[in-house]
């Protein structure tokens, strides 16, 4: 059988080949044709070479990628793979290299930036995966908690411990056959990530004599790591919110021979050091000294601190890629379970169900064993007791009884992390699922799009307690107390609540008890989003309104002042007028004011995250939605924010956006007779 490429009405590729090796090559080639610009941006991000064609705005990332040794770590992990997995990944890379030239000719971004498509190395997919997920667990949060402990006191080190827009989250749920109309399980959810254009998830089908799988791939990486349906088993993941990366405060000294030594628990030891040059478009090249101690690469080098990063793939030489071909070949939840035993990073909660009635709910990945202080903050490299002493094994798991929900809250992964999402999304999903025992795939859209905001309760309770208000403020208070707490795009009440919330956040951030956190240390700009006070206050607002260092009378005063401010100048339109999509693109081609308004909010099941107190625009939200039906795979559903193609002007670049905005889902087509075969006559 030769390689065959088919498309459905959404332009989604369905690939068929003689064996898994040729199929991986076809996946790489097709991805290069559809997403050439995206692939090359990701390759350069992994190498730390984006500033060479995107300019100085990308320099901070490039410096971090070099210092953290992302490309070198990917090479190590590739070399450690078993021979069959190396060959399978290599076939994908061969396909990318075959299709990249033609894909680049279709993509005007190359001409606009002067970028010439380069050659992918066998290890490049591992580097893309690593660079995509190196910040996934939010290790810069330890920099923030370190500041909090030093300036507010050790008792407040976990005061702001909650998820925020810098953290990737997800919703996921599994409904067993006892709760569905068909008698077979449903697996559904939506990953919450920064919305990128083109999207971070690629809908695709991979078929050969060994397997036939539909799912969501990450462009640049073979297989389907996170979401897939093989026909007899389906799986999905969410962020476990585990803590598995450590930061060490280092002491370095220069040696007479030009080397560097670092102080560890056993005294001074040589560090590995070399210099690299980062090219900058329209600017002078920048030299970066790359230093690696026995703990890990130095990612912050002065002036206030020298800090190294220790992360599992750098230590173990593994990323977990041997799980990827095993997932494609899975037939049962036992197969999926064994595949995820090999997983390393990121650490995820996994759910799976099969046509035999099997279910799975477990954590997968590598979490080191070390003292709790390592999880909380930056620890001194020279003090004993901060070493890694193995890893958590076995990982937590639990049986599924009717329904299982995963939404980044404390639960299955609680022993592994520090910062978890509030329970609102998880509790709301469970409550909605309890309303029926005859769920269908199409019925899941009502859960995906739920906009109830339970986290509004503490603020509204203080609003209700305000005495002696003027007539305008009293009217606004009464309006908020009658509001249905739904963050609908067409709701003016939701807009009013958001305006009051933002004003409260700003006032609390200015309170003397918290203002000591306003000036962050002099760390690289890449880490500043984790160190900014207003976003931290915004996402810990429930905690700060019910406890913490701000006195109760001052909290009430902040709410009163915010209510009066908004009453004097209420929002001119509904929530969606300001709560607009703000996707990230390496080379933006749309003005900010052309993007549509959105339903939802950070703590809604429909989690479209803005930064209260700073902006209502949403840069993070559902990067895909899916429903895997174990009764009939062809009844499964999916959607992404934009489309199958990353090429400007292509009819499938943004054809799914209206459906995504409405909360709709497209059918997963599995009948080859309903697909259109695609012929490629180019080189």
Report how far residue 74's alpha carbon sits from residue 71's, in angstroms, rounded to the nearest whole number.
5
DSSP secondary structure letters along 134-160: TTTT-TTHHHHHHHHHHHT-GGGTTTT
Within 10 Å of residue 136's Cβ, how many Cβ atoms? Answer: 17
Euclidean distance between the first and final Cα of the chain, in Å? 20
For residues 360 and 333, is the Cβ–Cβ distance under 8 A? yes
Residue 251: strand, helix, or coil? coil
Which helix or strand (DSSP H or E) is residue 361 part of?
strand 359-364
Alpha carbons within 13 angstroms on the beta-carbon side of residue 11 total 20
Alpha carbons within 13 angstroms on the beta-carbon side of residue 614 total 17
Q: Report which of 362, 309, 308 is spatially closest to residue 137, judged by C-alpha positions.
A: 309
- Work out the angle at residue 216's Cα, subtended by the Cα atoms of residues 214 and 218, and round it to the nearest 5 degrees: 135
Q: Which two tokens stand for residue 77?
A: 């992990």
pLDDT at position 683: 46
Helices and strands: H and E segment counts in the chain? 24, 25
pLDDT at position 180: 98
- pTM for the whole thing? 0.96
Within the chain, which residues score under 70 in pLDDT?
A: 1, 164-166, 592, 680-683
Report how far residue 596's alpha carbon sits from residue 618's, in angstroms, rounded to the nearest whole number.
10
Q: Report which of 77, 34, 82 is spatially closest to residue 650, judged by C-alpha positions.
A: 34
For residues 142 and 166, is the Cβ–Cβ distance under 8 A? no
Q: Which two tokens stand for residue 594?
A: 């052309």
Which helix or strand (DSSP H or E) is residue 252 part of?
strand 252-254
pLDDT at position 304: 81
- Work out the angle at residue 122's Cα, subtended by the Cα atoms of residues 121 and 125, and round it to the nearest 5 degrees: 90
Residues, the chain = 683
The alpha helices in 141-267, defined as continuous H runs, are 141-151
DSSP 508: H
Q: Report which of 520, 530, 538, 551 is spatially closest to residue 151, judged by C-alpha positions.
A: 520
What domains does the chain contain, in order, with CATH numbers?
A: 141-163+452-485+492-573 (no CATH), 169-239+316-448 (3.60.20.10)
pLDDT at position 679: 81
pLDDT at position 167: 72
pLDDT at position 680: 64
Per-residue pLDDT tens digits for 209-239:
999 999 999 999 999 999 999 999 999 999 9
Cα distances (angstroms) measured from residue 283 to each of 381, 524, 587: 36, 19, 18
Which helix or strand (DSSP H or E) is residue 86 part of?
helix 83-106
153: CB partners within 8 A, 6+ apart: none
Cα 22 off chain centre by? 30
Q: Which two tokens stand for residue 278?
A: 């980062």
359: CB partners within 8 A, 6+ apart: 174, 176, 185, 333, 351, 352, 353, 399, 400, 404
Q: What is the CA radius of gyration of the chain?
A: 25
Q: Report which of 229, 195, 219, 203 is spatially closest to residue 9, judged by C-alpha positions.
A: 203
């Amino acid at each position: 059988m030769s390689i065959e490429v088919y498309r459905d009405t959404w332009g989604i590729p369905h690939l068929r080949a003689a064996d898994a090796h040729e199929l991986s090559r076809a996946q790489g080639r097709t991805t290069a044709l559809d997403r050439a610009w995206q692939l090359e941006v990701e390759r350069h991000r992994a190498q730390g070479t984006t500033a060479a064609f995107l300019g100085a705005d990308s320099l901070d990332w490039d410096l971090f990628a070099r210092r953290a040794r992302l490309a070198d770590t990917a090479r190590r992990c590739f070399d450690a793979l078993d021979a069959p997995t190396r060959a399978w990944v290599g076939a994908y890379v061969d396909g990318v290299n075959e299709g990249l030239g033609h894909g680049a000719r279709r993509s005007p971004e190359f001409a606009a930036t002067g970028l010439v498509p380069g050659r992918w190395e066998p290890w490049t997919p591992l580097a893309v995966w690593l660079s995509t997920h190196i910040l996934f667990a939010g290790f810069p949060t330890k920099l923030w908690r370190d500041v909090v402990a030093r300036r507010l006191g050790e008792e407040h080190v976990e005061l702001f411990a909650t998820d925020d827009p810098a953290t990737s989250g997800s919703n996921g749920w599994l409904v067993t056959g006892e709760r569905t109309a068909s008698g077979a399980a449903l697996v559904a959810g939506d990953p919450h990530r920064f919305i990128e254009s083109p999207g971070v998830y690629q809908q695709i089908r991979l078929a050969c004599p060994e397997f036939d799988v539909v799912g969501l791939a990450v462009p640049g990486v073979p297989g389907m790591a996170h979401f897939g349906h093989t026909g007899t088993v389906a799986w999905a993941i969410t962020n476990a919110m585990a803590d598995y990366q450590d930061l060490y405060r280092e002491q370095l000294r220069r040696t007479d021979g030009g080397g560097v030594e670092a102080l560890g628990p056993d005294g001074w030891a040589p560090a590995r050091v070399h210099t690299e040059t980062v090219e900058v478009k329209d600017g002078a090249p920048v030299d970066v000294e790359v230093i690696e101690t026995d703990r890990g690469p130095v990612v912050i080098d002065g002036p206030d601190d020298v800090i190294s990063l220790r992360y599992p793939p750098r230590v173990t030489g593994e990323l977990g890629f041997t799980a990827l071909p095993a997932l494609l070949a899975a037939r049962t939840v036992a197969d999926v379970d064994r595949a995820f035993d090999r997983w390393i990073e990121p650490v995820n909660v996994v759910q799976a169900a099969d046509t035999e009635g099997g279910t799975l709910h477990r954590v997968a990945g590598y979490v080191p064993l070390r003292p709790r202080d390592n999880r909380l903050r930056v620890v001194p490299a020279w003090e004993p007791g901060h070493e890694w002493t193995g890893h958590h094994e076995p990982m937590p798991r639990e049986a599924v009884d009717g329904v299982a929900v995963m939404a980044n809250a404390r639960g299955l992964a609680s022993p592994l992390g520090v910062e978890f999402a509030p329970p609102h999304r998880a509790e709301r999903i469970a409550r909605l699922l309890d309303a029926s025992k005859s769920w269908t795939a199409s019925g899941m859209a009502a859960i995906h799009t739920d906009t109830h905001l339970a986290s509004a309760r503490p603020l509204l309770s203080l609003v209700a307690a305000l005495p002696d208000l003027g007539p305008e403020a009293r009217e606004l208070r009464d309006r908020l107390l009658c509001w249905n707490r739904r963050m609908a795009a067409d709701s003016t009440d939701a807009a009013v609540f958001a305006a009051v919330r933002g004003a409260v956040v700003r006032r609390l951030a200015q309170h003397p008890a918290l203002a000591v956190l306003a000036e962050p240390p002099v760390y690289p700009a890449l880490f500043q989003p984790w160190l900014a006070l207003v976003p931290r206050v915004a996402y810990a607002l429930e905690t700060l309104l019910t406890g913490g260092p701000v006195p109760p009378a001052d909290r009430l005063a902040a709410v009163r002042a915010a209510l009066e401010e908004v009453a004097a100048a209420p929002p001119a339109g509904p929530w969606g007028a300001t709560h607009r999509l703000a996707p990230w693109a390496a080379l933006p081609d749309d003005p900010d004011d052309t993007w549509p308004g959105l339903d939802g909010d950070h703590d809604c099941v429909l989690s479209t995250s803005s930064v209260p107190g700073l902006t209502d625009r949403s840069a993070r939200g559902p990067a895909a939605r899916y429903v895997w039906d174990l009764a009939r795979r062809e009844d499964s559903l999916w959607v992404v924010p934009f489309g199958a193609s990353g090429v400007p002007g292509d009819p499938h670049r943004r054809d799914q956006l209206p459906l995504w905005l409405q909360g709709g889902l497209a059918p997963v087509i599995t009948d080859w007779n309903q697909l259109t075969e695609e012929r490629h006559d180019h080189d």
